[in-house]
Amino acid sequence: MSIKRVFDIVMSLTGILIFLPIFIIISVLIVLDSRGGVFYGQHRVGKNKRSFILYKFRTMLTGSDKQGLLTVGDNDKRVTRSGRWLRKYKLDELPQLFNILKGDMSFVGPRPEVSKYVDLYNERQKKILSVKPGITDWASIKYMDENEMLANVPDPEDYYIRYIMPSKAEINLKYVAEHNFWTDIKIIFLTIRNVFFKDR
């Protein structure tokens, strides 16, 4: 078992235990805010193109994914009041601790895409699928404001496919070629800094 997998197991278990009270509070807020379940599961493509269900706290009105897979800006009417707050501090991602514990994901790795976008990968970009996907990566840090970027273009999905996806792919390919445990630790700390101290 690699040091990365040991780290993932230990830290995901620790995180689940520490954040359990926060899980309960968030669950209550979601239930009070809108109809629907507490969690949202979506099929994503993982290592070796294996499909898995990625877990999140539900931040949108039920059925919103039928209107499009991308979230556009802070004013997306599909996002609930509690959802805006959860997204701002990335708290909606906390259930992915269970994905990490199961082995579907790691703390650090290319963010997993839905099959619709993975099917657009060229042969070179498919190398991204040779590593386990993660909660955060270099591309996530660079595109922390992705939703706001998409809100300012006429066709968000076209812009995502033409510009953001290729840029993320290049960043992820570099990660695949050069990643190591200490790089992962650096990415984790930079992500925490950007999420909670960006405005400062």
Res. 142: pLDDT tops 60: yes
The DSSP line for the chain is: --HHHHHHHHHHHHHHHHHHHHHHHHHHHHHHHSSS-SEEEEEEE-GGG-EEEEEEE--B-TTGGGG-SS--STT-TTB-HHHHHHHHTTGGGTTHHHHHHHTS-EEESPPPPPHHHHTT--TTGGGGGGS--EEE-HHHHHTTTHHHHHHTSS-HHHHIIIIIHHHHHHHHHHHHHH--HHHHHHHHHHHHHHHHHTT-
**Confidence band, pLDDT 50/70/90 cuts, at residue 156:** confident
With 0-12 / 13-18 / 19 or more C-beta atoms within 10 angstroms meaning exposed / middle / buried, residue 14 is: exposed
> In this predicted structure, what is the pLDDT of residue 136?
96
What confidence tens digit (pLDDT) does each residue in 28-49 have?
Answer: 999 999 888 999 999 999 999 9
Q: What is the 3-state secondary structure (H, E, C) of 23-79?
A: HHHHHHHHHHHCCCCCEEEEEEECHHHCEEEEEEECCECCCHHHHCCCCCCCCCCCE
> In this predicted structure, what is the pLDDT of residue 103?
97
> In this predicted structure, what is the pLDDT of residue 198?
65
Res. 67: pLDDT tops 80: no
> In this predicted structure, what is the pLDDT of residue 12?
98
> In this predicted structure, what is the pLDDT of residue 62?
82
Q: What are the extents of the domains in the chain?
A: 3-197
Do residues 82 and 108 touch, judged by C-beta distance below 8 A?
no
> In this predicted structure, what is the pLDDT of residue 54?
97
> In this predicted structure, what is the pLDDT of residue 68?
63
> In this predicted structure, what is the pLDDT of residue 63?
75
